[in-house]
Structure 1
Amino acid sequence: MSDTQDRIPTTCPSCSPELETVHEVLSPGGGALTVRCGECGHVHKIQPEREREVTLDVVVSQEGESFTANVTTPEDETVAVGDEFLLETEEVLATVRVTSVEVGDDRRVEEAPADEVRTVWTREVDNVAVDVTIHPKDGRRDDSRSVTVYVPGDYEFAVGAVEEFGDDEFEVDAFVVRGDATGYRRDRYEHEGDTVLAKDAKRVYAFDQTTSAWSAW
């Protein structure tokens, strides 16, 4: 057992029937715990409190489509934008990220206790689609084009790095971070060596590096 499981606060019928004291957990049994009072050494049994849970509706966005599932969580758990959790249903097993939290009156908030949440909006982050805007080598923006690359969520893009996907080869120039990503200090990065995980990237900007002549078509 861990330290938190070895010792728990509870009342002692011998020396402290009104106030909780620290007790050592000796052994579980028959649905009850056998504990020893840390103050007087009295050994007795207690019935542990069952953690109250709530079931939440979860909407998952996946490859441009969406489906609804349910998850069970402790009622005092905080649900916040940016949280990630493993969603397991008959249809899918995937890691999803919270993109929005809906509470009463159809309000969207950044976070809320689970028992106040009506719907959790999420997107899959195991495998993601990243939009890339590719500029010609000469920098002309009018002839830029967009492609979508499909990569694992933990795939890393770095400013200055050359990437190759099928017939497309490009050098990363900058990237914009999604609003639900955490751990970033700003929305846009464009300095050599700046990195972003694919699941955190809203869009990547790059310069064409293909050997064939540039074509806007």
Structure 2
Amino acid sequence: MLVVEDEPYLAEAIRDGLRLEAMAADVAPDGGAALDLVATTAYDVVVLDRDVPVVHGDEVARRVVAGHPGVRILMLTAAGGLTDKVTGFELGADDYLTKPFAMRELVLRLRALARRPEATAPPVLQVGPVRLDPYRREVYRDDRYVALTRKQFAVLEVLVRAGGGVVSAEELLHRAWDENADPFTNAVRITISTLRKRLGDPWLIHTVPGVGYRFGAGPDDGPGA
């Protein structure tokens, strides 16, 4: 998620609230910074205050819709009149929430947006014996429920969505944590190790030495990362 909000305390509160829900969130204090981040980072949703400096939120919405059609926009703004909402949706917003708001409602709306499938992406992901439901935050292996922490679920979702491709530790940090994560932390290695144990034998998360991690059937390379 990218939170575009020029009021720093509110921006930090939203970011921290999303992180508690296992949603990696970055913050942009103005429209210019937001466009720079969208150009270099694959966000799922932009939480956009319309009245932000440098580049107005309406123009940010126009450019995101034109240049990044896969990115969804939730406008989070004090402009709550019917005309304001109509304008927001005409600009390409996928959802519109007015301030003041409840954090729980924002989380639910973001999850609803995130589960809207693209043409090639099923809402429930199935890879071999593992079924992952992003909306219900549930994972099953051979119909056995697998209890995961929020961070473990986030890492597993990134790996499953890679479709058998290799995901680097840096990409996992970026997608499942946030842009401020310490690149030298061992959090990825520890999380991968615990995920393997939770999912059970045979291992489904494989280490590609010097490259990263791959999810799916393959040689058992043990729990080492």
**TM tier, shorter chain?**
under 0.3
Q: TM-score if structure 2 supplies the norm length? A: 0.24
For the pair shown, the structure with the greater C-alpha radius of gyration is 1
Higher helix proportion (structure 1 or 2): 2
Q: TM-score if structure 1 supplies the norm length? A: 0.25
Higher strand proportion (structure 1 or 2): 1
